[in-house]
Amino acid sequence: MKKTGIIITGIVLLLAAGGCDRYLNQYPHNAVPDDQVTYEHAQLLMNGIYNIAQYKPTFNGWALFDIIGSDLIRPGASGVNTPKLLVEMAIAPNQSIVTSPWNGFYAGMYQINRYISIIEGLPESPDKNEYLGVGHFFRGLYYYNIVARWRDVPIITGNETEEVGQTPEAQAWEFVVSELRKAVEYSADFTHKNLVSRQAAKALLARTYLAMGRKAEAAALAEELITDPDFALADFETIFRGGENKEEIFTFANLIHEGRVNMSSYYYTKESPVGGSYTFCPTQEAMDMFGPSDKRKDISVDVQSNNNVVNKYCSGDAGQDPLYMIRLAEMYLISAEGQGLQGGLDRLNELRKFRGLPAVSPADEEEFLDAVLEERRLELFGEGFRWFDLVRTGRYERKTGLGTKYTVLPIPARELTLNKKLKQHPLWDAASAMYQ
């Protein structure tokens, strides 16, 4: 692996927006020996890392929390047309919905690690920290998703190929925190939604603190974003139909000539003007959860030829839509949950008012948390949150009727065969044995 260079796959992001062309309008080299990398090369390598980071997890990686979060089903008489049946059929140690995200996140991780290693070896420069910030942000984003799914996981920070054992979940979360703190320290201030920034790193760190139960720290960071003049809530039609807005904190551009993640193709029907495979669709309960005054309704869900569809991604088979990673509305909900009923109710109702809904008045902390989670369900529908929201708050089994083992993903059976240091999660031991 030494001095063989990084192979950059795909085509670099080409952003038309002003202010982005400093880095993202150049094509990367195919390969550069490690000891010959210059800052000119580093810019090109960074372009490649943006591309790798968005497509390696695949559709299953970015959409998984929606697919198994009880609001989506397989359409038609497929035998998996209830959320419970879908999860029971899809989640197993040999199923692609489990294996492709594992493979994608770890394959991308090796390339992110290599990028960080090369940048660390460059001479000091005003640009060096900014390049490192990008690498640590994506390593934090990837490991957030890995730990949330599999809990005890291998933490790999180099390019070693030997077998690596698992880090306990608590330590793994601390590693995510350390990566995102570095991203906050090194990254440049916000200039564009498609560029990693200090603010994007703070927002992702707030999300991580919430996952860890460190609510006060999560709320404090979320408040920094809410009060930042660079950001403001925006209408859904503006956000999800390509309009200029101040709500998106970080979004993958996911251009059609560079990416491989077509969300809308899985959600739209063949009868739509842009086509679609219609692999997953909202439950009727998910369709009905948006009240008539909710300004999010028409952009979140729609009906095409009597078929319920997720409508946030509208390109169908004809194109690709952005991947919305971090929005300001999430910060309102993190702040609300983090502060609890007494401190957070105003933030919750502020968001509800902006979306056309009346204020709520929960009687106690439990009712308040239920209200926040329901608002997260409405606001973030189709953006990859629901499963983990239910899992991290201990509500998944009660809300879905599924067994406890579905609150964690099984390690893929092939990985257990290849790496003898890996141990299957105890909840999946028996199931794993069937596939080895």
**Higher pLDDT pick, 38 / 3:** 38
Please give the mean pLDDT across all residues of the chain. 91
Top pLDDT among 15 and 398 is at 398
Backbone angles phi, psi at 378, to 5 degrees: -70, -50
Which span out of 34-38, 254-258, 314-318 was modeled with the highest average pLDDT?
A: 314-318
How far is it, in rounded angstroms, from Cα 135 to Cα 129? 10
Buried b (16+ CB within 10 A) or exposed e, 326-339: bbbbbbbbbbbbbb
In the predicted model, is pLDDT for residue 257 greater than 90? no
pLDDT at 275 over 50: yes
User: Which residues, other chains included, contact 216 with Cβ-Cβ below 8 Å and sequence gap of 6+?
Assistant: 338, 339
Cα separation, 178 vs 184, whole angstroms: 10
**pLDDT value, residue 285:** 97
CB-based contact 13:194 (threshold 8 Å): yes
List, for residues 327-351, the tens digit of each pLDDT value: 999 999 999 999 999 999 999 999 9
Is the predicted pLDDT of residue 93 greater than 80, yes or no? yes
Mean pLDDT for the stretch of residues 267-281: 95
Quick one: average pLDDT of 348-372?
98
Percent of the chain with pLDDT over 70: 91
Structure tokens at 96: 């692609």
Label residue 320 by pLDDT band (50, 70, 90): very high
Lowest pLDDT segment from 60-69, 160-169, 261-270, 398-407: 160-169
Q: What pLDDT is recorded for position 259?
A: 75
210/206 Cα distance (integer angstroms): 6
Tell which residue, 434, 410, 430, has the closest CA to residue 91.
410
- In whole angstroms, give the CA distance from residue 24 to residue 115: 16
pLDDT for 160 equals 74
Here the tokens at position 300 are 């979140």
Site of tokens 């839509």: 321
Provide the pLDDT for residue 434. Answer: 52
DSSP-assigned states of every residue in 301-353: EEEETTEEEE-S---GGG----EEEEEHHHHHHHHHHHHHHHHHHHHHHHHHH
Quick one: pLDDT at residue 81?
A: 84
Is pLDDT of 34 > 50? yes
3-state SS assignment for residue 119: helix
Angle between helices 169-186 and 128-150 in degrees, nearest 10:
160
pLDDT band at 8 (very low <50, low <70, confident <90, very high): very low
Q: What is the pLDDT of residue 38?
A: 86
> Is the Cα dihedral 137, 139, 141, 143 positive or negative?
negative
CA 370 to chain centre: 22
Q: Which two tokens stand for residue 217?
A: 């720290």
Q: Where are the alpha helices (DSSP H) in 30-163?
A: 39-55, 58-67, 83-90, 96-120, 128-150
Q: Is 196 exposed, middle or buried (0-12, 13-18, 19+ CB in 10 A)?
A: buried
In one-letter notation, the amino acid at residue 100 is S
pLDDT at 190: 98
Residue 406 has pLDDT above 90, yes or no: yes
Nearest CA among 5, 10, 101, 93 for reference residue 51: 10
- Split at pLDDT 50, 70, 90, the class of 115 is very high
For the ranges 18-27, 48-57, 193-202, 422-431, the lowest mean pLDDT is seen at 18-27
Closest CA to 247 of 316, 299, 210: 299
Beta partners for residue 323, in sequence order: 252
- The answer to whether residues 82 and 285 touch, using CB atoms and an 8 Å cutoff, is no
DSSP code per residue over 232-274: ----HHHHTTT---S-EEEEE---TTT----HHHHHS-TTSTT
Q: Is 300 helix (H, G, I), strand (E, B) or coil?
A: helix
Whether 15 has a pLDDT exceeding 90, the answer reads no
Tell me the helix, strand and coil percentages in the chain, rounded to 5.
Answer: 50, 5, 40
- Quickly state the pLDDT bin for 354 (edges 50, 70, 90): very high
Stretch 102-121: mean pLDDT, rounded?
96
Cβ–Cβ under 8 Å, residues 174 and 143:
no
Delineate the domains of the chain, giving CATH numbers in brackets.
21-240+324-427 (1.25.40.390)
Q: Higher confidence at residue 324 or residue 1?
A: 324
Q: What is the arithmetic mean of pLDDT over 254-281?
A: 92
Position with higher pLDDT, 236 vs 319: 236
Closest CA to 157 of 109, 205, 108: 109
Residue 29 has pLDDT above 70, yes or no: no
Region of poorest pLDDT, from 91-100, 258-267, 370-379: 258-267
pLDDT of residue 3: 29
Both tokens assigned to 104: 């994608």
For residue 17, the model assigns a pLDDT of: 29
